[in-house]
């Protein structure tokens, strides 16, 4: 294997996935062609080498974005000790509430009264689906829309037999677990969360600021710890008068491969025991057991699963939902 092959591959792949950010596309391709930058990045533990985290840490220490690769390169080479320390101390806890527009139809299928438990909750912003107006626009006929709820608007383009909810399910209680939960009242932690938004995406930045204010009105209960250790306790505390839904979005990718398999087996067992439902929203290679139950994805994005079955393909930040599963 050639030197830095893992870094080259991951940054080349990210250049394809980051089409929504021309800046990140240029930065990813720049790193993939730059042995000096690769040399620095390889000093990080594998899970910390991810483009999103390295780019965020570099921006935290002055890399201008949007801006050319030369700016990123200068920051990496001149301030690497600071960038490295930030990458080691922090993580990519992107809390994109836009994904709720793709998750809500799955939630609503499972019950009218819900207890939500989010794995990898970050600041818990996605634990408030009931605080938004969700608007779904048909791909083939933009004049056809569906909506539910009141509040700040989340918009998503859709295709297929989407089970649009007729009414907003009631969220009876909400809880989450994260290795490093973020406090919505902490200015530094929220500044880092905003720093994770891709450079050109002002709409996402505005949506994040709104979501932070929403969560500050009713901060969810977040538990610090490992999901394998803490999930049983969270399930044990779930109310009896609501359907418990364990969900996650762009989280399991950060587990090592053996723990991904362990997690999938854990959730399959909990579903089989009737202890909860499971809604997953991850890249296709993260939970191959789920991906294999539906059509193969043809473009970057996530596979939305319910109880281990693929039901839809989604955009990573919630912009699109392509439903393929027919529910009775």
Domains: count for the chain: 2
Considering the domain architecture, whether residues 168 and 189 belong to the same structural domain is answered as yes
74 in any annotated domain: yes
Are 57 and 182 members of one domain?
A: no
Any domain includes 38: yes
Per the domain annotation, does 328 fall within a domain?
Answer: no
CB 199 within 8 A of CB 24: yes
Residue 328: band (very low, low, confident or very high) from pLDDT cuts 50, 70, 90: low
Same domain, 82 and 122: no
Q: Where are the beta strands (DSSP E) in 199-276?
A: 221-224, 243-249
Collapsed DSSP state (helix, strand, coil) of residue 319? coil
Does residue 132 lie within any of the structural domains? yes
Locate tokens 């101390």: which residue?
89
Mark whether 210 and 313 lie in a shared domain. yes
Q: Which of 89, 107, 124 is the last residue of a domain?
A: 89
Tokens of 185: 């009242």
Nearest to 102 by CA among 134, 142, 57: 134
Place of tokens 């690497």: 80
The whole domain housing 75 covers 5-89
Query: What CATH number does the domain containing 276 carry?
Result: 3.40.50
Q: Are residues 182 and 149 in the same domain?
A: yes
Question: Which residue from 142, 126, 124, 146 is spatially nearest to 134, judged by alpha carbons?
Answer: 146
Determine, yes or no, domain membership for 128. Answer: yes
Q: Is 80 exceeded by the pLDDT of residue 223?
A: yes
Task: Assign 3-state DSSP to the chain and report helix, strand, coil percentages, each to 5.
Answer: 45, 20, 35
- Whether 295 is covered by a domain: the verdict is yes
Q: Is the pLDDT confidence value at 275 over 50?
A: yes
Per-residue pLDDT of 204-220, as tens digits, reads 999 999 999 999 999 88
Q: What is the pLDDT of residues 31-57, one digit of tens each?
A: 999 999 999 999 999 889 999 999 999
Same domain, 317 and 206: yes
* Angle formed at CA 326 by CA 322 and CA 328, multiple of 5 degrees: 145
Q: 270 and 132 in one domain?
A: yes
- Asked if residue 130 and residue 16 are part of one domain, the reply reads no
Q: Which phi and psi angles does 272 have, rounded to 5°?
A: -60, -30
Q: Locate tokens 């989010």: which residue?
A: 118
Question: What was the pLDDT predicted at 300?
Answer: 82
Q: Quick one: pLDDT at residue 5?
A: 60
Q: Are residues 221 and 314 in the same domain?
A: yes
Q: What is the pTM of this model?
A: 0.86
User: DSSP letters of 24-37?
Assistant: HHHHHHHHHT-HHH
**Residue 108 covered by a domain:** yes
pLDDT tens track for 288-313: 999 999 998 988 899 999 999 999 99
Q: State the pLDDT confidence band at 1, using cuts at 50, 70 and 90.
A: very low
Establish if 240 belongs to a structural domain: yes
Shared-domain flag, residues 26 and 106: no
Q: Are residues 62 and 122 in the same domain?
A: no
Q: Which of 69, 89, 109 is the last residue of a domain?
A: 89
As a whole number of angstroms, the distance between CA 305 and CA 234 comes to: 21
Residue 115 parent element (H or E): strand 113-119
Whether residue 27 sits in one domain with residue 145: no
Task: Compute the mean pLDDT over every residue in the chain, rounded to the nearest whole number.
Answer: 94
């Amino acid at each position: 294997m050639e030197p830095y092959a893992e870094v080259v591959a991951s940054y080349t792949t990210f250049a394809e996935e980051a089409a929504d950010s021309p800046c990140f596309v240029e930065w990813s391709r720049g790193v993939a062609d730059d042995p000096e930058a690769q040399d620095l990045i390889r000093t990080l533990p594998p899970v910390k080498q991810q483009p999103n985290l390295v780019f965020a840490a570099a921006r935290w220490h002055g890399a201008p974005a949007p801006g050319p690769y030369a700016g990123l390169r200068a920051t990496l080479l001149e301030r690497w000790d600071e960038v490295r320390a930030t990458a080691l101390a922090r993580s990519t806890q992107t809390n994109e509430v836009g994904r709720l527009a793709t998750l809500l139809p799955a939630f609503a299928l499972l019950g009218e009264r819900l207890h939500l438990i989010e794995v990898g909750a970050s600041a818990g912003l996605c634990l408030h689906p009931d605080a938004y107006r969700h608007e779904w626009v048909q791909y083939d006929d933009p004049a056809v829309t569906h909506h539910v709820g009141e509040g700040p608007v989340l918009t998503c383009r859709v295709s297929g037999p989407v089970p649009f909810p007729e009414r907003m399910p009631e969220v009876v209680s909400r809880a989450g677990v994260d290795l490093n939960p973020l406090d919505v009242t902490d200015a530094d932690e929220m500044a880092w969360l905003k720093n994770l938004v891709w450079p050109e995406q002002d709409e996402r930045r505005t949506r994040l600021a709104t979501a932070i204010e929403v969560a500050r009105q009713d901060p969810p209960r977040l538990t610090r710890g490992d999901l394998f250790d803490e999930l049983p306790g969270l399930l044990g505390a779930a109310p009896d008068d609501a359907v418990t839904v364990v969900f996650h979005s762009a989280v399991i990718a950060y587990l090592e491969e053996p723990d991904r398999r362990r997690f999938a087996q854990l959730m399959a067992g909990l579903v089989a025991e009737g202890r909860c439902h499971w809604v997953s929203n991850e890249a296709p290679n993260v939970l191959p057991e789920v991906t294999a139950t539906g059509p193969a994805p043809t473009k970057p994005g996530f596979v939305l699963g319910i109880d281990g079955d693929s039901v839809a393909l989604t955009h990573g930040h919630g912009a699109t939902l392509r439903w393929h599963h027919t529910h009775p």
